[in-house]
Amino acid sequence: MPVDVLAGSPFTDFLLPGMILFTVLGLFPLVVLYGLCTERGWAWPAAIIVGIALIVWIVVQGLIVGFGHWLQWLYLSLGFVLILLALLPSVRRTV
C-alpha cells in the first residue's frame, strides 16, 4: 500500500499504525483467545472489547483513507460478529 493513502492523516508512515494494530488487534486477541480457551471470567468481556476495537479501527481508517476496499467491510462485519458471539449465553456461561 503506498504511503500516499496516509495524506491528511496524523501518520507519515505505517510504523505507528502497524505497531498499534499488532498490539491491539494482534497480541491482545491472542490473550483473549487464551482466556476463552481456559474459561477465564475476564475473557468474554475482553472479546467484546476486541470487537469494539476492530470496529473503531475500521471506522477511523475509513474516515481517514476512505471506505474503498471490500476488506474494510469484511473486518467491520467481523467486529460485529465477534461482539454478538461474545454475548451468547453459552459463551458467558462457560467462562
3-state secondary structure labels for all residues of the chain: CCHHHHCCCCCCCCHHHHHHHHHHHHHHHHHHHHHHHCCCCCHHHHHHHHHHHHHHHHHHHHHHHCCCCHHHHHHHHHHHHHHHHHCCHHHHHHC
- Total number of domains in the chain: 1
What is the structure's pLDDT at 94?
A: 63
Structural domain that includes position 55: 3-94
Pairwise CA distance, residues 67 & 58, whole Å: 9
Specify the pLDDT at position 5: 77
Q: Could you state, in chain order, the average pLDDT of each consecutive group of 10 residues for the chain (95 residues)? A: 81 90 95 92 94 96 88 96 91 67
pLDDT of residue 49: 97
Cell representation of residue 78: 467481523
pTM of the model: 0.84
Looking at residue 66, what is its pLDDT?
A: 86
What is the pLDDT at residue 7? Answer: 80
